[in-house]
Amino acid sequence: MHDAGAAIALLKGASTAAAGVFRAILTRGPISRIDIARLLGLSQAAVTKAVGPLLEVGLVSDELSLPRDGQPGRPANPLMVVADALVSIGVKVNADEIVGVATDLTTHVLAVDRRPLKATTPSVVVEAIEATTRSLVGALGDRADRLCAVGVSVSGDVDTSLGVVRESAIMGWTDVPLGAVLSGRLGRDVLVENDVRALTIGEHWFGVGVGTDLFAIVTIGRGIGSGLHINGDVVAGAYGVAGEIGHLPLTSPDHVCPCGRRGCVEAVAGTPAIVASVSRALGRDLSIVEIVELAHQGDPVAVRTFEHAATVIGTAIATLVNLTGPQLVIIGGEAVSNFDLFETHLRASFAEHAFGAASRCEIVTRPHTFEDWARGASAAAIRRLAEHGL
């Protein structure tokens, strides 16, 4: 049976144990009841009690039979989520574009909507998000009544509990109550999350983080950001700020960051900083595409600028790794396509500053499209619903 309303009500009213059982099935399924009990430290009776209502409303299924690895006896009936039982919408806010996706419960993309932003004022952005959301709801057709969550991700200091963007240099915002405004316009609860943290949540639940206790994502592009996954969960920080390596003061105070502070990593390594530095040195306005081409052609100014940015980022990653000890750092963001211009100096700087065994941390690249960032926003909304009833 698929009863979307009953399924949403069940998740919103779930006990801590029941929420944990659903989360385990969602992120680790197919998984047996015994394995869930071991994973969560629950009795098999408690797991069985939690699973019953999930089966009844059609959120999970136990109809997949697997053999017991050659062992005699009846085949196991592991539990797995019914991915299309509910759908979610995720929206990534950029300075020049809104990217939205509708996904199922495993963040498989069902529909996409992209639209340019004419300005970054909150009112313009809210109208664009509303238009994107309504377009995606229309694209869902008969599945629209299964919509359980809406998530929006924005760069900057975001108070997720209040839905307030406290500071976003990229958007030029201070204390914008985005969640409340959008909830009023859309007629439903909206989760607002920092964009890199949302991306990390997506990787935690449905990507490299499944089964990995410690990893970090570092994004290189217009901004320099980081998301932390430590001891099996994504770190939000006591005040909603954690992993902001773009604002570590690791460079000269002569460099002013878009956030208004001095000496930040982002002040020399973010795309706008690279563009401004090379354009100023060469005496003409250049785009990042032109600067990348110049660097590939061996232009000394462009090459040195990327090398300096890479050195500072490598030092920042070493600082992050020394403090938190992840086994893996994933480098993403729009600048990953030009990682060859960063890689040598970034890795050398990391190796120079990583302390002891921290140097064994693996650094890999993983391209993320803006649709992936929007999927992260959807994952964050699903996570909030599954764990806290949104």
% of the chain surpassing 70 pLDDT: 95
- How many Å apart are CA 143 and CA 85, to the nearest integer? 9
- Beta strand 173-176 with 164-168: parallel, antiparallel or unpaired? antiparallel
Q: What is the mean pLDDT of residues 216-242?
A: 86
pLDDT score recorded for residue 98: 97
- How many Å apart are CA 106 and CA 86, to the nearest integer? 10
pLDDT score recorded for residue 105: 95
Q: What is the mean pLDDT of residues 169-198?
A: 95
Structure tokens at 273: 């900083």
Span 283-328, pLDDT tens digits: 999 999 999 999 999 999 999 999 999 999 999 999 999 999 999 9
Torsion of CA 258, 262, 266, 271, to 10 degrees: 50
pLDDT score recorded for residue 57: 94
Question: Quick one: how far is CA 95 from the chain centroid?
Answer: 17
**Residue 218 · residue 320 · CB < 8 Å:** yes
- How many Å apart are CA 366 and CA 2, to the nearest integer? 36
pLDDT of residue 51 exceeding 60, the answer is yes
- How many Å apart are CA 276 and CA 174, to the nearest integer? 24
Kindly report the backbone phi and psi dihedral angles of residue 366, in degrees, each rounded to the nearest multiple of 5, phi listed first: -145, 105
pLDDT score recorded for residue 66: 54
**Residue 345 · residue 295 · CB < 8 Å:** no
pLDDT of residue 350 exceeding 80, the answer is yes
Print burial letters for 208-246: b (CB count within 10 Å at least 16), e (below 16). Answer: ebeeeebbbbbbbbbbbbbbbbbeeebbbeeebbbbbbb
Span 112-165, pLDDT tens digits: 999 999 999 999 999 999 999 999 999 999 999 999 999 999 999 999 999 999
pTM here? 0.87
Span 252-272, pLDDT tens digits: 999 999 888 999 999 999 999
- How many Å apart are CA 317 and CA 216, to the nearest integer? 9
- How many Å apart are CA 300 and CA 142, to the nearest integer? 57
Smallest CA-to-CA distance from 250 within 338, 322, 300 is with 322
